[in-house]
Amino acid sequence: NVIGINTAIFSPSGGSVGIGFAIPSSTARPVVEQLIKNGRVSRGWLGVHIQGVTAEIAETLGLDKARGALVANVVKGGPAAKAKIKPGDVILSFNGKNVPEMRKLPRMVAETPVDKTVDMVVWRDNKKMTIKVTLGKLKEEKSQAAANTSEGATTATAEVKIKGLGLTLAVVSADLKSRFKLQGSVKGVVVTKVKDGSVAAEKGIRPGDVIVEVSQEQVSTPAQVAAKVATAKDGGRKSVLMLIEGQGGLRFVAVRVNKS
C-alpha cells in the first residue's frame, strides 16, 4: 500500500537529519491513473485569476465570512468567460465541493477531467447563483499578446487628493503612461502618490497602480473614485472594494474608509 512518494529531505549540511518530505498518495493517484490510461497527464482549466477572500473583502461583498476564491480576472475566450463568470464573483463551491479558501480551488479544477461540465456556486450581487462551466485543457505554456494601443490618450495630468485614503489620483494620460510604463490600453484612474502610513499604503497600493473599479463599478476620473468612497462611507461600510491593476496584474483590495 502506497501512502506517499518521497520528494526531498531536510539537509542543511549535506547529510540526512532524519526529516523527509513526501507527496500524499491521494495527490499522486490521479496522476498515475491518467498516465496508465492516456500516457500523459491532462489537467482541467477554468481560465480565471483568483485571490483570497479577507474579512474586509467579505464585508464589502456582503458575505457572512471570509471563504471561497475571489475572481480577480477572467481570461478572454476561456471556459469561465464562456460561462459568463465576472471579476468580483466569489466561487463558493466547485463540482459539488465547498471551496473553503482560495488555495483549494486550483487543485480541484486541475483534478477534474477536461471537457467535463460542472456546477459552480458563486456569490454575486449579494446572493448565490449556480453556473455551469465546461472545463478546458490546461496548457503548459500560454502566450497572450498584450494590446498596446493609445486610444483615448490625453496629456492632462491634473492630480486630485483623496485625503481619507492617502491617495493622489489622476486620469490616464500619455505623460503618466510614459512615467509609470503603463500599457497603452490601460483604463481607469492612475495612483500618482501614496501617503506613508495611510490606509492605502497599508494595503500595498503604490504609485503607478491603476484603479479600474470601485465598489464593482468602473471609474475613469478621480472625482468618480471620491464619490464612490463617500457613498460607501455614508452607507456605513467599513471598507470600499477596489479593483487595481499593478505590476502583478489585477487584484481586489478592500481599503478601510477613514472616519476622520
User: pLDDT tens for residues 187-217?
Assistant: 999 999 999 999 999 999 999 999 999 998 9
Residues of the chain with CATH 2.30.42.10: 44-137, 159-256
Residue 151: per-residue pLDDT: 34
CA gap 100, 76 in Å, rounded: 26
Question: Which residues contact residue 134 at a Cβ distance below 8 angstroms, ignoring those fewer than 6 apart?
Answer: 79, 82, 83, 115, 116, 117
Residue 152: per-residue pLDDT: 34
Residue 140: per-residue pLDDT: 54
Q: The domain 159-256 belongs to what CATH superfamily?
A: PDZ domain (2.30.42.10)
Taking residues 155-173, what's their average pLDDT?
A: 81
Question: Which among 189, 195, 190 has a CA at the least distance from the CA of 180?
Answer: 190
* Residue 193: other Cβ atoms inside 10 A: 14
Residue 25: per-residue pLDDT: 83
Residue 259: per-residue pLDDT: 55
Question: Which among 176, 172, 166, 164 has a CA at the least distance from the CA of 227?
Answer: 164
Residue 29: per-residue pLDDT: 83
Residue 160: per-residue pLDDT: 87
- Looking at the DSSP bridge assignments, the partners of residue 69 are 52, 91
pLDDT at 260 over 70: no
Question: Which residues contact residue 204 at a Cβ distance below 8 angstroms, ignoring those fewer than 6 apart?
Answer: 253
44-137 adopts what CATH topology? Answer: Pdz3 Domain (2.30.42)
pLDDT at 143 over 70: no
Q: Is 222 exposed, middle or buried (0-12, 13-18, 19+ CB in 10 A)?
A: buried
Question: pTM, whole model, 2 decimals?
Answer: 0.72
Detail the DSSP E strand segments found in the chain: 4-9, 20-24, 44-45, 48-52, 69-74, 90-94, 97-98, 117-124, 127-134, 136-137, 159-162, 167-171, 189-194, 210-214, 217-218, 239-246, 249-256
Using alpha carbons, list the distances in angstroms from residue 257 to 46, 205, 236, 238: 34, 15, 9, 6
52-99: pLDDT as tens digits: 999 999 999 999 999 999 999 999 999 999 999 999 999 999 999 999
